[in-house]
Copies of this chain bind each other. A is one copy, B any other.
Amino acid sequence: MRPSSWRSISLSSNVAGTPLGRRSFLGLGAALTGSLAIGAKPANAAPASPPADAPWSQSLGAGVVDRPYGRPADTEAGVIRRNVPWLTAGAESSVSFSPLQDLHGIITPNGLFFERHHAGRPDIDPDQHRLMIHGLVERPLVLTMKDIVRFPSTSRIHFIECPANGGMEWRAAQVNSLQFNHGMISCAEWTGVRLSTLLDEVGVRKEAKWAMVEGADGAHMNRSLTLDKCLDDCLVVYAQNGEALRPEQGYPLRLVVPGWEGNVNIKWLRRIKLGDRPWFSREETSKYTDLMPDGTSRGFTWLIDAKSVITFPCPEKPLTGPGLYEIRGLAWTGNGKVKRVDVSTDGGVNWQTARLHEPVLSKALTKFTLPWQWDGQPALLESRAIDETGYVQPTIAQLRTQRGTNSVYHNNSIQTWQIKPDGSVFDVQLA
C-alpha cells in the first residue's frame, strides 16, 4: 500500500476499477481546477524560462523576531475553532470544535486544540497554583509547580476526545460538517510526571481503590478514577507540543488519562484524593452517563472505543470533478493502537484496507489514506477502524440496537459521507 509513485498506483482493486495511465492524477483531476486541459497542451506545462518574480520575490521581507512568538499567515484566518451557540446556555459551559477539515497529520497545533469548559477558562498564576494529594495516602502533600517540574518527566503523544463528540447524531444525521460533527478530538505531545510517580511519593494506603481528581476552575470539575488507571498510564502534565499548556487546556497543570473520555482529563488540576469508593460526583451521575432504552443509566463509561472519520472529502472540502483523489482520514482508539482501517465508497457493501501512516502510536491519532478514482457518480464514503483488541467500529444502527437513542455520549459510529454528482458532500445515516 506504499506505492513508489502516484503514477504506478494500480487501482485495479478499487471500486471504480479503472487502471490509471501516465499523468492520470493531474490529467483527470484538473478538469475543474483549470490547470490542465485533457488532450490539449497542458495549461500547467512549464515555459522554458524561470517563473517571473512575484512582488514578494523582489524585496526584503520582515526580519527575524518580527514575531518573537509566531502566528499563522493572515490568509489562514478562516482556520479557527468554532462553537455552536445554541448548543449550550452560555459560552462558559460549552465546547469549541477543532477545524479537522483544514488539519493534516496527527499533531493538533495548540492554537486549534478543541475546548470544553464547564465554568469558562480561568487564568491562573502558576506561582500560586498548588496540587494537593491526600485522602488514603501515607504522606499527604501540597506541591508547587516547581516541585512538580522537578520530578522525572515523561513525554507521550495522545489524543483527547470529548465523549460528546458526535453526540448530536444519536437520533438522526443533522450536522452537515466535519468540524461540528467530529471536531472534539485533538492530539498532542504531552509532557509531565507519571501520576504513579506522585502517588509513590505520597504512599498509597492499601485500602485505596479510587481517586477523585479536581480542577481549580469555577466548576471545581471533579471525577472519580480507578486507582488501577491512575497507576497505569496517567500523566500530570505541564506542557503540550513542547511549550507550557495553553490556558484553555489547563495551564499550568492538567491530568491526561490516555484513551479515556476527555472530561476525566481534568484541567487546572489542583487536587487528587484517594478513597475506597467512587465519589459519584455531579459530572458522573447527572452528566457523562448514558441513558439506556430500559431507563437505566450506564455509568463510568470512560473508555473511548475505536473510531475513525474521513477528513477529505468532507462537507467543508468537496470534490472538484471526476478524477483521482486521495481519501484521507484519522482513526483512534482508547484501547491502544489502531490495527487497521477499512474504507468503503459504496456505503459499506465493499471495503478496502487503507494505508496507515507511521508512527502508529498507542492512544494517539493515526492517519490513514486510500487512493480513489471518482467517476462522478453518487457515492457513499465510510471508514471503520479496527483496534489491536479486535474491536470493530460499529454502525449507528448497531449502536442504537444496544443503547437506544437517548444517549449523548460515546457515539463512535461509522460516519457516512454522501458524494453527489457535483462533488458536494453530505452527512447522512444509512438504515
Give the interface of A toward B (CB within 8 A).
3-9, 23, 25-26, 29-30, 33, 35, 42, 44-48, 50-51, 54, 56-76, 79-83, 90-92, 94-96, 102-113, 115-117, 119-126, 128-130, 132-134, 139-144, 146-147, 150-157, 188-191, 196-197, 200-201, 214, 216-218, 220, 238-239, 241-248, 251-252, 268, 270-271, 325-326, 328, 357-359, 361, 367, 369, 371
Contact assessment for B105 and A239 in the assembled complex, using a CB-CB cutoff below 8 Å = yes
**Given A69-B81, A241-B241, are A216 and B64 also a contact pair (CB < 8 Å)?**
no
Which of B6, B47, B139, B155 has a CB less than 8 Å from the CB of A367?
A: B155
Which of B64, B121, B268 has a CB less than 8 Å from the CB of A117?
A: B64
Contact assessment for B81 and A218 in the assembled complex, using a CB-CB cutoff below 8 Å = no
Which residues of B sit under 8 angstroms from A65, Cβ to Cβ?
Answer: 80-83, 91, 96, 115
Contact assessment for B56 and A123 in the assembled complex, using a CB-CB cutoff below 8 Å = yes
Q: How far, in whole Å, are A252 and B54 apart by their CA atoms in the complex?
A: 14
Which of A75, A95, A251, A357 has the most chain B CB within a 10 Å cutoff?
A: A75
CB distance from A114 to the nearest CB of B (A): 9
Contact assessment for A63 and B117 in the assembled complex, using a CB-CB cutoff below 8 Å = yes
Q: How far, in whole Å, are A124 and B74 apart by their CA atoms in the complex?
A: 10
Contact assessment for B62 and A103 in the assembled complex, using a CB-CB cutoff below 8 Å = no
Which of B115, B132, B242 has a CB less than 8 Å from the CB of A46?
A: B132
Contact assessment for B44 and A144 in the assembled complex, using a CB-CB cutoff below 8 Å = yes
Q: How far, in whole Å, are A361 and B124 apart by their CA atoms in the complex?
A: 35
Which residues of B sit under 8 angstroms from A90, Cβ to Cβ?
Answer: 63
Which residues of B sit under 8 angstroms from A75, Cβ to Cβ?
Answer: 125-126
Give the 3 A-B CB pairs with smallest separation, nearest first. A63-B91, A61-B120, A46-B140
Which residues of B sit under 8 angstroms from A132, Cβ to Cβ?
Answer: 46, 50-51
Contact assessment for B26 and A147 in the assembled complex, using a CB-CB cutoff below 8 Å = yes
Contact assessment for B357 and A111 in the assembled complex, using a CB-CB cutoff below 8 Å = no
Q: How far, in whole Å, are A64 and B90 apart by their CA atoms in the complex?
A: 9
Q: How far, in whole Å, are A200 and B196 apart by their CA atoms in the complex?
A: 51
**Given A44-B143, A45-B139, A326-B150, are A189 and B68 also a contact pair (CB < 8 Å)?**
no
Q: How far, in whole Å, are A69 and B117 apart by their CA atoms in the complex?
A: 16
Which of A33, A65, A80 has the most chain B CB within a 10 Å cutoff?
A: A65
CB distance from A2 to the nearest CB of B (A): 9
Which of B46, B80, B123, B270 has a CB less than 8 Å from the CB of A134?
A: B46
Contact assessment for A270 and B117 in the assembled complex, using a CB-CB cutoff below 8 Å = no
CB distance from A49 to the nearest CB of B (A): 9
**Given A191-B104, A218-B61, are A141 and B71 also a contact pair (CB < 8 Å)?**
no
Which residues of B sit under 8 angstroms from A117, Cβ to Cβ?
Answer: 61, 63-64
Contact assessment for A44 and B141 in the assembled complex, using a CB-CB cutoff below 8 Å = yes
Q: How far, in whole Å, are A42 and B105 apart by their CA atoms in the complex?
A: 47
Which of B74, B94, B244 has a CB less than 8 Å from the CB of A72?
A: B244
Q: How far, in whole Å, are A7 and B138 apart by their CA atoms in the complex?
A: 14
Cβ contacts A to B, 9 pairs, < 8 Å:
A7-B200, A45-B141, A56-B268, A69-B71, A70-B247, A70-B248, A73-B244, A112-B243, A152-B326
Q: How far, in whole Å, are A252 and B156 apart by their CA atoms in the complex?
A: 29
Contact assessment for A142 and B51 in the assembled complex, using a CB-CB cutoff below 8 Å = yes
Q: How far, in whole Å, are A7 and B238 apart by their CA atoms in the complex?
A: 21
Contact assessment for B119 and A61 in the assembled complex, using a CB-CB cutoff below 8 Å = yes
Contact assessment for A103 and B6 in the assembled complex, using a CB-CB cutoff below 8 Å = no
Which of B30, B153, B189, B369 has a CB less than 8 Å from the CB of A107?
A: B189
